[in-house]
Structure 1
Amino acid sequence: MAMTLRLTDEESEALRRRAQLESRSMQDVARQAVREYVESHSRAELLDQVLDEELPRYAEALERLGQ
């Protein structure tokens, strides 16, 4: 799927420099950044969900451990 990504001049220049440093295209660097963002946020959401579901089950034991 094609899309248009509008960057500020500063963002575009930073992306250009990073791509040049890595000898990669700006598109490759941007696509990797998107993948890493989605992956890291997906893991955080999963952890939050597990904690929301499991912490109440162990609340009493955790409270005792904290004393």
Structure 2
Amino acid sequence: MTLRLTDEEADALRRQAQLEDRSMQDVARQAIREYVEVHSRAELLDRVLDSELPRYAEALERLGQ
């Protein structure tokens, strides 16, 4: 895989890597892992809410009154 970054993105990644005393690759890989984890959780939560929320719609409506 080849990741093409703009000059600004590459500079930001380089600065972050230097701040953390890590390689640019390590910083990028961690960022990807965190992104996938967060978005996977959000997608799962959305699916659960879509399937379960209608089941409790009446009760939620009453609680809102």
TM range (shorter): over 0.9
Percent identity reads 88
1:1-26 CA distance string (max 9 Å, x none): xx100000000000000000000000
Uncovered stretches (5+) of structure 1, i.e. residues with no partner: none
Count of residues in correspondence between the two structures = 65
TM-score with structure 1 setting the length: 0.96
TM-score with structure 2 setting the length: 0.99
Q: What is the root-mean-square deviation in Å for CA atoms of aligned residues?
A: 0.3
Amino acid at match of 1:61: A
**In the alignment, what sits opposite 1:18?**
16
1:62 CA drift (Å): 0.3
Uncovered stretches (5+) of structure 2, i.e. residues with no partner: none
Paired residue secondary structure (2:29) = helix
- Written as runs of structure 1 = structure 2, the 5 A alignment for 1:24-43 is 24-43=22-41
